[in-house]
Amino acid sequence: MRGSSAARTALALSCTTHFLVLFDVSVMTVALPSIQSDLGFTPSGLQWVVSAYTLAFAGLLLLGGRLADLYGHRRVFTAGLAVFTVASLLGGLATDPATLIAARAAQGLGAAVLAPLSLTMLTTSFPEGPSRTRALTIWTAVALAGGAAGNLLGGLLTEYLSWRSVLLVNVPVGIPAALFGLRVLARRGAPERAVRLDLPGAVLATAALTLLTFGVAQAHTHAWSDPRTALPLLGGGAALVAFAVVEARFAATPLIPPRLFRLPGIGWGNLAMLLAGASQVPLWYFLTLTMQDVLGYSAAQTGLGFLPHAAVMLLVSLRLIPLLMRRVQARVLIATGAIVEAGGFWWQSAITPDSGYVTGILGPAVLLSLGGGLLSTPLTRTVTSGVSHADAGAASGLMNTTRQFGGAFGLAVVLTLTATGTTGAAGSPAALAESYGDAFLSMAVILLVLAALTPLLPALRDSRSGARPGAGAGENTDGADGDTRPAVR
- Name 477's bridge partners: 484
Among residues of the chain, what percentage have pLDDT more than 70? 83
Number of domains in the chain: 1
- How far is CA 422 from its chain centroid? 26
Q: Is 245 helix (H, G, I), strand (E, B) or coil?
A: helix
Q: What is the pLDDT of residues 293-308, one digit of tens each?
A: 888 887 778 777 878 8
- In our burial notation (b when 16+ CB lie closer than 10 A, e otherwise), range 25-62 reads bbbbbbbbebbbeebebeeeebbbbbbbbbbbbbbbbb
How far is it between the farthest Cα atoms of the chain? 65
pTM of the model: 0.73
Asked, for residue 350, whether it belongs to a domain, the answer is yes
Q: How far apart are CA 487 and CA 489, in angstroms?
A: 6
Asked, for residue 174, whether it belongs to a domain, the answer is yes
Q: How far apart are CA 33 and CA 18, in angstroms?
A: 26
Q: What is the pLDDT of residue 160?
A: 78
Q: How far apart are CA 147 and CA 30, in angstroms?
A: 12
DSSP state of 425: G
Q: What is the pLDDT of residue 71?
A: 73
Q: How far apart are CA 26 and CA 17, in angstroms?
A: 15
Asked, for residue 390, whether it belongs to a domain, the answer is yes
Question: Of 213, 192, 202, which Cα lies nearest the Cα of 69?
Answer: 192
How far is residue 412 from each of residues 164, 224, 286, 468, 487, measured CA to CA in Å? Answer: 27, 10, 12, 41, 39
Q: What is the pLDDT of residues 59-109, one digit of tens each?
A: 787 777 777 767 777 778 888 888 999 999 999 898 888 899 999 989 988
Asked, for residue 226, whether it belongs to a domain, the answer is no
- Domain of 53 in residue numbering reads as 3-187+253-462
Q: What is the pLDDT of residue 179?
A: 80
CATH number, position 391: 1.20.1250.20
Q: What is the pLDDT of residue 469?
A: 36
Asked, for residue 151, whether it belongs to a domain, the answer is yes
- Alpha helices (H) along 125-226: 130-160, 165-168, 171-185, 199-218
Q: What is the pLDDT of residue 253?
A: 72
Q: What is the pLDDT of residue 48?
A: 77
Look up residue 4 and give its amino acid: S
- Alpha helices (H) along 72-126: 73-92, 97-123
List, for the chain, all residue ranges whose pLDDT scores fall below the cut of 70.
1-4, 6, 25-26, 43-44, 47, 69, 128-129, 144-149, 151, 184-197, 220, 389-390, 393, 419-427, 460-489
DSSP state of 319: I
Non-local CB neighbours of 289 within 8 Å, separated by 6+ positions:
432, 436
Q: What is the pLDDT of residues 370-414, one digit of tens each?
A: 998 888 888 888 887 777 766 776 777 788 778 877 887 787 778
Packing angle, helices 130-160 and 3-39, rounded to 10: 30
Asked, for residue 476, whether it belongs to a domain, the answer is no
Asked, for residue 178, whether it belongs to a domain, the answer is yes
Look up residue 26 and give its amino acid: S
Q: What is the pLDDT of residue 470?
A: 38
Cβ–Cβ under 8 Å, residues 488 and 1: yes
Question: Of 15, 105, 122, 23, which Cα lies nearest the Cα of 68?
Answer: 122
